[in-house]
């Protein structure tokens, strides 16, 4: 039927996002919230104009892949070891604090011990998409704040893979052994991609650089190739895309490639935020709904406080520590993935999974407002804070 076609769904998503985006901008509200509201309004939990979002969710993942590709594209490989050394202890330490706080909430909500552990693991991380979407490109690529944020999110991605392996039951090896295996795969993937750039991509781009369409399609193919390769190796699409961008960063056309891919990234990120809203279903008991919203609100200042202390202890300035703490204060899209996976495996009840999703999306909204109202972003309606 026409209502189930991907063309109809995409048309409806873009039209609703444009209408709500216009209303939100007139009201001086963050446009990201408009995309989430569109998902709530016309998705399965709303008027059900779109009843099934599986295809949209898969398409939206491309936005995250492109986002990580562009991050790698603007980061010099020589900085990676220093970033990991600077942020590894900070990232692991803060994740443990957030896990303990989330575990306490889950037990208070009378989750089973196993469900509470899954809930706590899901809430440990920050959102790669929200954090990187809201930071100006110049800050991300050329300033200390951007480097630190990239380091934290990169290590969190590796930790998230460990959590997924643990939840899926792949526990034949110790966690430490799995971590070093993943690290070895990451380094091996990067070395292969560097060799590929030197002997394949660079010669081709130099030969056909006058044909912009070829540069665009070749680099996009390079991104998706390594994203898929990383996934097949047991890593994530995002890490593969990051490696692809990192390997090609030394090419002289890197900045041109980044500019060409920005509009494509923005399109798929609209789908991502729509899918986030469409995941919401408020059909649970009122006390559970209020508890989930309350935790989603409270986790944001808690994360901000812990991150601020951690950055200060690691030697960063008060100004950098405060800003990064706020930008990393939300929960992660990884939480939504965990909720879906654990629910399908029978590890979470429907209500428990919904509490996790509602708390996560609430943290998205609260954190986004905090960042947009206080710090420079690419989507601020305030001319002073609107920076690209």
CATH number, domain with residue 331: 1.20.1530.20
Whether pLDDT at 252 is above 80:
no
Q: pLDDT tens digits, residue range 292-316? A: 999 999 999 999 999 999 999 998 9
Please give the structure tokens belonging to residue 290: 């209020």
- Helix, strand, or coil here: 377? strand
The closest of 381, 384, 375 to 319, measured between CA atoms, is: 375
The per-residue pLDDT for 17 is: 94
The per-residue pLDDT for 23 is: 94
Please give the structure tokens belonging to residue 21: 């985006």
Neighbours of 386 (CB within 10 A): 14
Mean pLDDT of 330-347: 83
Task: Check residues 96 and 53 and name the one with the higher pLDDT.
Answer: 96
Mean pLDDT of 21-33: 90
Domain of residue 85, residue span: 64-374
Residue 184: exposure state from Cβ atoms within 10 A (0-12, 13-18, ≥19): exposed
The closest of 180, 128, 120 to 152, measured between CA atoms, is: 128
Confidence of residue 123 (pLDDT cuts 50, 70, 90): very high
Torsion of CA 310, 315, 318, 319, to 10 degrees: -100
330 part of a folded domain: yes
103 part of a folded domain: yes
Q: Return the percentage of the chain with pLDDT > 90, whole number.
A: 37
Whether pLDDT at 51 is above 50:
yes
The per-residue pLDDT for 84 is: 80
The per-residue pLDDT for 108 is: 93
CA–CA distance, 188 with 165 (Å, rounded to integer): 20
Given a contact cutoff of 8 angstroms between Cβ atoms, the answer to whether 339 and 361 are in contact is no
The per-residue pLDDT for 168 is: 63
The per-residue pLDDT for 56 is: 85
Provide the domain count of the chain.
1
The closest of 246, 220, 262 to 378, measured between CA atoms, is: 262
DSSP 8-state code for residue 281: -
Confidence of residue 175 (pLDDT cuts 50, 70, 90): low
The per-residue pLDDT for 324 is: 94
212 part of a folded domain: yes
pTM: 0.87
Q: pLDDT tens digits, residue range 226-249? A: 999 999 988 889 889 989 988 888
96 part of a folded domain: yes
383 part of a folded domain: no
Query: Which stretches does DSSP call E strand in 314-386?
Result: none
Q: Return the percentage of the chain with pLDDT > 70, whole number.
A: 93
The per-residue pLDDT for 1 is: 47
Q: Using alpha carbons only, how large is the chain's radius of gyration in Å?
A: 20
The closest of 381, 380, 339, 382 to 136, measured between CA atoms, is: 380
CA–CA distance, 29 with 178 (Å, rounded to integer): 43
Q: pLDDT tens digits, residue range 184-204? A: 888 899 899 989 998 998 888
What is the average pLDDT value for the chain, to the nearest integer?
86
DSSP 8-state code for residue 378: S
The per-residue pLDDT for 169 is: 57
**Cβ-based neighbours of 324, under 8 Å, separated by 6 or more:** 145, 148, 149, 152, 307, 308, 311, 316
CA separation (Å) from 247 to 116, 150, 200, 252?
40, 16, 12, 12
Please give the structure tokens belonging to residue 260: 């060409």
56 part of a folded domain: no
CA–CA distance, 364 with 146 (Å, rounded to integer): 20
Q: pLDDT tens digits, residue range 208-228? A: 877 778 888 888 999 999 999
Confidence of residue 274 (pLDDT cuts 50, 70, 90): very high
195 part of a folded domain: yes
Residue 123, phi-psi category: left (phi > 0), alpha (psi -120 to 50), beta (remainder):
alpha
Whether pLDDT at 385 is above 80:
no
250 part of a folded domain: yes
């Amino acid at each position: 039927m026409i209502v189930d076609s991907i063309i109809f769904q995409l048309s409806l998503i873009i039209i609703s996002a444009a209408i709500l985006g216009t209303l939100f901008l007139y009201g001086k509200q963050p446009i990201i919230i408009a995309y989430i509201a569109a998902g709530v309004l016309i998705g399965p939990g709303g008027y059900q104009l779109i009843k099934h979002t599986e295809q949209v969710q898969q398409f939206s993942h491309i936005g995250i892949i492109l986002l990580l590709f562009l991050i790698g594209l603007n980061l010099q490989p020589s900085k990676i070891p220093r970033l990991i050394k600077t942020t590894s202890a900070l990232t692991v330490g803060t994740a443990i604090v957030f896990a303990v706080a989330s575990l306490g909430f889950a037990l208070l909500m009378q989750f089973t011990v196993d469900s509470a552990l899954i809930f706590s693991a899901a809430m440990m991380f920050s959102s790669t998409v929200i954090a990187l979407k809201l930071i100006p490109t110049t800050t991300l690529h050329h300033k200390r704040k951007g480097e630190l944020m990239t380091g934290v999110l990169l290590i969190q991605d590796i930790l998230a893979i460990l959590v997924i392996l643990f939840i899926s039951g792949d526990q034949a090896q110790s966690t430490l052994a799995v971590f070093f295996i993943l690290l070895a795969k990451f380094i091996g993937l990067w070395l292969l991609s560097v060799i590929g750039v030197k002997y394949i991509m660079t010669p081709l781009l130099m030969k056909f650089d006058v044909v912009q369409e070829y540069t665009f399609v070749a680099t996009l193919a390079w991104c998706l190739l390594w994203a898929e390769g990383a996934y097949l190796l047991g890593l994530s699409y995002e890490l593969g895309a990051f490696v692809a961008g990192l390997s090609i960063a030394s090419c002289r056309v890197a900045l041109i490639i980044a500019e060409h891919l920005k509009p494509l990234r923005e399109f798929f990120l609209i789908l991502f935020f729509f899918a986030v809203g469409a995941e919401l279903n408020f059909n649970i008991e009122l006390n559970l709904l209020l508890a989930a919203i309350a935790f989603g609100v409270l986790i944001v200042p808690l994360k901000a406080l812990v991150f601020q202390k951690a950055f200060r202890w690691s030697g960063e300035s008060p100004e950098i520590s405060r800003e990064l703490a706020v930008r990393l204060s939300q929960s992660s899209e990884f939480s939504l993935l965990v909720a879906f996976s654990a629910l399908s495996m029978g590890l979470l009840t429907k209500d428990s999974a919904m509490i996790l999703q509602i708390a996560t999306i609430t943290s998205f909204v609260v954190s986004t407002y905090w960042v947009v109202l206080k710090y420079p972003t690419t989507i601020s309606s305030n001319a002073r804070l609107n920076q690209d």
